[in-house]
Amino acid sequence: MTRYLLIFVTLLGFYQQPVAASEVTLLQAFHVAEIYTANSPSGHDTDTYNGDPHYVIEVPVDNEMKRVWIHRTHGRVSKIESGPVEATNLEYQWPGIRVVAHRGGVGLDVPENTLPAIQRAIDIGAQLVEIDIRETRDGHLILMHDTTVDRTTDGSGRVEELTLEEIKALDAGGWHSGRYRGTEVPTLQEALALMKGKISPDLDFKDGDVEKLVAVVNSVGVAGESYYHGSIENSRKLNDLQPDIFLRPSVSHSVDIHQTVRSLWPPLINLNWHAVTDENIRLIHLLGAQAFVNTLSTADTLLNVELAAEAGADYIQTDYPDKVIALLREKGLMYDESKDVSGRIHPLGNERLSYPLR
């Protein structure tokens, strides 16, 4: 009897524990506004924007009033205005969800990590194309996901044990279909040259010298439109070498989110599907970053994309960018260049995040 009573009391205590808040508090909204303006709010209001409830946090900055509109459910900064209400200057507006073509779009019937895959991602209207980067034996950076060339070419061997000349002699398209027979494994330089001004590079750095990566990015002139995913150690090094590249470190739970933001101050946080929750996306926004969501492999379904979008995702990486783009357009959530009034990837531009008042 005592045992059952103990179980009952334990369960009662569990169910009476406070649950995570499903809405942003006013104090949390104040802190978000502090991050984006580097000053203390002087007032607030509530209003709707695109049909959703928002906090409107007023912050005086340089003798001018800024108004930061913060979504009350997922904490995203929807827009930042300045000046008098009757003559508002729109400084930033969330432009919609950016779609990332994984390896160029594995589900688009093109061989992954090749120039045809990148061109296909450009043609369908994706905003980013994710590519995997490795270093050859003779020090060149190429596009290859696996440690070996076996799966995606007609050759064999580890990338790190092959020269660029040997890799360039391989067929990276024939395994996929006859249409792409003779396609070469591209160098990073070749890939970035194709992307420049057309689509943002998302650099998944598998192996190699990060200084060489930065040198190639700088030589092509795409630093301000590039994203980087790699080890924490390399992320720190890259941030020192070229802070204009946007970091997207991965996390697996809320504790990691706090630690990663305070360690790197990245503009984006990468969430693999198992870590995609309403609470984690809200926390990312409250800490001043944006949510980069992966719906890959068995999680790459339109239902999951819709759930991620409703939870507040800012970026969605998928093998099927064409289908995701169609869905987001139907929902009115797709990235719209005409709304990107600031021309900035992130509300703070290329500045590193910080807690200016703490």
Report the number of distinct structural domains present in the chain. 2
Rg (CA), the chain: 22
Residue 135 and residue 265 in one domain: yes
- Give the global pTM: 0.91
Whether residues 70 and 190 share a domain: the answer is: no
Residues 88 and 124 in one domain: no
43 and 121, same domain (yes or no) = no
Considering the domain architecture, whether residues 188 and 283 belong to the same structural domain is answered as yes
pLDDT tens-digit readout, 33-91 = 999 999 999 999 999 999 999 999 999 999 999 999 999 999 999 999 999 888 889 99
**pLDDT recorded at residue 80:** 96
3-state secondary structure of 262: helix
pLDDT in tens, 292-328: 999 999 999 999 999 999 999 999 999 999 999 999 9
Helix (H, G, I), strand (E, B) or coil at 100: strand
Task: Check which CATH number belongs to the domain holding 53 and give it.
Answer: 3.10.450.40
Please state, in angstroms and rounded to a whole number, the distance separating the CA atoms of residues 269 and 288: 10
**Domain of residue 108, residue span:** 98-339
Tokens of 277: 């929750």
The domain boundary residue, chosen from 58, 93, 128: 93
Q: CA 130 to CA 41: how far, in whole Å?
A: 38
What are 38's two structure tokens? 């580097």
Give tens-digit pLDDT for 80-118: 999 988 888 999 999 999 999 999 999 999 999 999 999
**102 and 64 both lie in a single domain:** no
Task: Please tell me whether residues 185 and 261 are part of one structural domain.
Answer: yes
Q: How far is CA 130 from CA 6, 21, 150, 202, 267, in A?
A: 53, 34, 21, 4, 17
- Is 165 contained in some domain? yes
Asked if residue 355 is part of any domain, the answer here is no
223: nearest Cα among 205, 207, 243: 243
Answer whether residue 15 is part of any domain: no
CB 353 within 8 A of CB 288: yes
Mean pLDDT taken over the chain: 91
| Residue 66 backbone dihedrals phi, psi, to 5 degrees | -105, 145
Please tell me the predicted confidence (pLDDT) of residue 347. 75
Angstrom distance (rounded) from CA 82 to CA 135 = 47
